Amino acid sequence: MPSPVPEKDRNPAPLPLLEQVRRRVRAKHLSRRTEQAYTHWIKRYILHHNKRHPAEMAAPEVEAFLSWLATDREVSASTQNQALAALLFLYKEVLGLTLPWLDKVTRAKPRERRPVVLSHQEVSALLANMSDVTGLMARLIYGTGMRLMECCQLRIKDIDFHQREIIIRAGKGGKDRVTMLPASLITDLQAHISDVRRFHELDRSNNAPGVAMPEALARKYPSAGASWAWFWCFPADHLSTDPVSGVHRRHHLFEQAVQRAIKRAVQAAGIVKPATTHTLRHSFATHLLMGGYDIRTVQELLGHADVTTTMIYTHVLNQGGRGVISPLDRV
């Protein structure tokens, strides 16, 4: 007669709370960055209330934490909203609790900030001080308006040289969109992709695991990650361990490499504006509007869900202070 199963084996200990959050985020197919942001704010919330378990707390504690962020930490409205989203996810998706309307939260004051935009001459100077892969990526970001991570995560199959277009898959909000492929980049991009093939062939000859795939596709097509079509356009030059799956494989080039290269180029070009990688995206949108393209077209190319987000770039149509000519210029 088999011995009885111990009680502790029949009822395994529950997972730690943050691990439950991570698993639920992945089950909802949210991005890695969303997972990191949510776990960060949930941890901050718990520490703020002296490590009490969130199940022991409710709306008053949530309101107190969000108000503290606005009044004591003076965070931006978008940061406060991110913390709110994380806590709503925790209570609804992980703890199975519904919070009432949070009407006692002191709201962070929205700050109206104009995006940093480079002139055509400044963009040319910046790009002239970049080379190799990061220089190609910087030109691609400025020439298409894609985000940095969208550029890093491009796959071979996403670039259509015949149609001169690039498909950006699972961008912000999980949406796909199409943007143009600048004609001036075709030759350099084709040469780069030809060179990248050696990494793919090296991985196949070493029987290395294929590149990371979207979860559903990885289950349906388990061998697709080893195919050339799904390989990264901008792969890292070495293998590393996937922090989620623990698989040792080739990842795309890390975004920090591009950010550091652009920071050096900004300094070398003598640009005094606080320009970053995202400034190239701002400049792309602004220069299109200055060129007479309608705002709906720019919205689609940028992948904005709401045209009001794109409206921040219309300040370029009012050059000078709101388009007003100074009386000094009439003297």
Residues labelled as active-site residues = 147, 172, 278, 281, 304, 313
How many Cα neighbours within 13 Å face the side chain of 141? 28
Q: If we measure between CA atoms, which residue out of 120, 166, 116, 165 comes closest to residue 277?
A: 116
The phi and psi torsions of 248 (rounded to 5 degrees) equal: -90, 105
Structural contact between residues 248 and 239, judged by C-beta atoms closer than 8 angstroms: yes
Q: Where are the beta strands (DSSP E) in the chain?
A: 159-160, 165-168, 177-180, 235-241, 248-252
**Edge-to-edge strands, sheet with 177-180:** 159-160, 165-168, 177-180
What is the spatial distance between Cα 156 and Cα 171, in angstroms, rounded to a whole number? 16
CA angle 296, 141, 270 (to 5 degrees): 115
Phi-psi region of 320 (alpha: psi -120 to 50; beta: other; left: phi over 0): left
Helix (H/G/I), strand (E/B), else coil: 83 = helix
Helix (H) or strand (E) holding 21: helix 17-27
The residue assigned the tokens 């490499």 is 257
Judged by DSSP in three states, 236 sits in strand
Degrees, nearest 5: CA angle 201-207-212: 80
Residues 6+ apart with CB under 8 A from 303: 168, 171, 172, 173, 175, 177
Contacts of 32 (CB under 8 A, 6+ apart): 244
